[in-house]
């Protein structure tokens, strides 16, 4: 079955969920649920012939969004997402050359499932177009094959129709409003929480900071659209909450947004490990959600222990118990001292910074940067701990 312009579903053809405002539009959206998949072609396929296939598909499915991505586009996308993990220009050029040798062009296809009919009907449209394009070679579908996508869409359609019944037939307007607010708050909390838990630690590990300078709005990780950046999450959060605040500096990161249930309050998460409701939706502008507690440590018992390894273990245990984030997450794997590691430790303060410097001296006593030079950055709060650092690997 192909789409006919005269075809109507409840007198509407709603394809975007944001246009759902009542039962009729909800049911129309259920009828017109979009599916998407990518048609991947082999490396070296004729890009003009792929564009001809796009034209043929667009003629068969007028409501579809069909985009051609070239091999150059594939390389650029990989660099945009994963480029931060490549640290030198020579490595970048080598990596891009390798990507270019393996890149594949593709067609990204999105359309209302109802327009496609069955998987076989879609193949009946696509196959003659592929046969005609002798300079191209179909490789695979990415995402889902059309038949699987259509089967999934049919199941989802039933679920959406049941949702339409519950929301617009069983609920009153007041109940529906409350449900929408609760749903939005849930999405806000999930988006605020997600980036801090998943992306931020990996980003910090790769960059030795959250941002290159002092605390600022939409700096560093907040504006990075790469795999471990937060820009995409912040954009989604802005769509749901209306506004989002992401502040980052070398050593601090905080994200907050207003709640739909009470816009005077916000939901906030920060790099200190805090997550929860706060009194202001703009709380993140401080670089934290709530002022972190001053950490108190009594290392007198550690000082009395015999052996450097045992003393260091004692200090690490105290940090693990009292710090808002595990000490292992701020020191990372032990490694020979280098400029990036030292820069990393300088973003910390107090005993956490001291322990960070000590962690480097455990790896190699013959490192290019002597232990004494690394340990010189330590505070003088615990002279015995600094002396252990200078002595080096236990």
Residue 99 falls inside a structural domain: no
Of the candidates 61, 62, 38, 63, the residue with the CA atom closest to the CA atom of residue 50 = 38
How many CB atoms lie under 10 A from the CB of residue 295? Answer: 14
Strand order in the sheet with 34-41: 65-69, 106-112, 34-41, 138-142
Question: Are 50 and 160 part of one and the same domain?
Answer: yes
pLDDT of 95 reads: 85
Mean pLDDT of 2-16: 57
Question: Are 56 and 155 part of one and the same domain?
Answer: yes
Residue 4 falls inside a structural domain: no
Mean pLDDT of 21-27: 92
Q: Is the pTM of this model over 0.85?
A: no
pLDDT band at 87 (very low <50, low <70, confident <90, very high): low
Question: Are 280 and 372 part of one and the same domain?
Answer: no
Does residue 81 surpass a pLDDT of 70?
Answer: yes
Domain that holds residue 381: 300-391
Maximum Cα–Cα distance across the chain: 86
Does residue 11 surpass a pLDDT of 60?
Answer: no
Mean pLDDT of 151-174: 92
Mean pLDDT of 145-157: 91
Mean pLDDT of 88-103: 87
Determine which helix (DSSP H) or strand (DSSP E) holds 247, and give its type and residue range: strand 245-248
User: Following DSSP, what letter does each residue of 170-196 receive, concatenated?
Assistant: IS-HHHHHHHHHHHHHHHHHHHHHHII
Does residue 325 surpass a pLDDT of 50?
Answer: no
- pLDDT tens column, 119-146: 899 999 999 999 999 999 999 999 889 9
Mean pLDDT of the chain: 85
Does residue 388 surpass a pLDDT of 70?
Answer: yes
Question: Are 180 and 164 part of one and the same domain?
Answer: no
pLDDT band at 363 (very low <50, low <70, confident <90, very high): low
Residue 92 falls inside a structural domain: no
> CATH no. for residue 142?
3.30.70
pLDDT of 335 reads: 53
pLDDT band at 367 (very low <50, low <70, confident <90, very high): low
pLDDT of 84 reads: 66
Does residue 292 surpass a pLDDT of 90?
Answer: no
Mean pLDDT of 306-327: 72
Question: Are 235 and 150 part of one and the same domain?
Answer: no
Residue-level length of the chain: 394
Does residue 51 surpass a pLDDT of 90?
Answer: yes
Give the least confident one: 76-80, 111-115, 140-144, 357-361: 357-361
Question: Are 221 and 279 part of one and the same domain?
Answer: yes
Q: How far is CA 21 from CA 64, 125, 153, in A?
A: 23, 35, 21
HSE toward the beta carbon, residue 133, CA cutoff 13 A = 22
Question: Are 166 and 182 part of one and the same domain?
Answer: no
Question: Are 165 and 26 part of one and the same domain?
Answer: yes
Question: Are 120 and 25 part of one and the same domain?
Answer: yes
């Amino acid at each position: 079955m192909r789409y006919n312009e005269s075809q109507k579903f409840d007198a509407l053809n709603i394809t975007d969920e944001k246009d759902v405002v009542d039962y009729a539009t909800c049911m129309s959206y259920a009828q017109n649920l979009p599916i998407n998949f990518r048609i991947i072609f082999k490396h070296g396929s004729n890009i003009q012939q792929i564009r001809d296939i796009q034209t043929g598909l667009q003629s068969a499915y007028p409501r579809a969004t069909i985009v051609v991505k070239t091999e150059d586009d594939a390389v650029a996308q990989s660099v945009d997402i994963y480029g931060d993990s490549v640290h030198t220009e020579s490595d970048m050029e080598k990596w891009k050359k390798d990507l270019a040798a393996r890149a594949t062009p593709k067609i990204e296809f999105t359309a209302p499932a109802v327009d496609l009919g069955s998987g076989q009907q879609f193949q009946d449209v696509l196959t003659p177009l592929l046969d005609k394009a002798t300079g191209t070679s179909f490789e695979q579908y990415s995402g889902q094959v059309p038949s699987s996508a259509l089967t999934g869409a049919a199941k989802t359609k039933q679920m959406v129709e049941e949702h339409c019944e519950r929301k617009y037939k069983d609920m009153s307007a007041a109940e529906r409003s409350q449900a929408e607010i609760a749903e939005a708050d849930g999405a806000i909390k999930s988006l605020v929480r997600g980036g801090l838990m998943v992306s931020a630690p990996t980003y910090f590990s790769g960059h030795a900071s959250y941002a290159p300078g002092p605390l600022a709005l939409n700096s560093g990780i907040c504006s990075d659209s790469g795999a471990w950046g937060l820009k995409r999450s912040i954009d989604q959060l802005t769509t749901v909450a209306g506004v989002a605040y992401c502040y980052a500096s070398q050593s601090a990161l905080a994200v907050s947004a207003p709640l739909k249930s009470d816009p005077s309050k916000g939901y906030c998460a920060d790099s200190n490990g805090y997550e929860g409701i706060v009194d202001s939706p703009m709380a993140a502008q401080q670089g934290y959600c709530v002022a972190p507690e001053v950490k108190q440590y009594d290392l007198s018992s550690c000082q009395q222990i015999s052996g450097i390894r045992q003393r260091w273990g004692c200090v690490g245990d105290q940090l693990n118990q009292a710090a808002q984030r595990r000490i292992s997450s701020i020191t990372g794997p032990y490694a020979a001292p280098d400029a990036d590691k030292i820069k990393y430790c300088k973003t910390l303060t107090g005993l956490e910074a001291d322990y960070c410097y000590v962690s480097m001296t455990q790896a190699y006593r013959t490192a290019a940067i002597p232990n004494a030079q690394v340990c010189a950055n330590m505070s003088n709060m615990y002279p015995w701990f600094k002396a252990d650092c200078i002595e080096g690997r236990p």
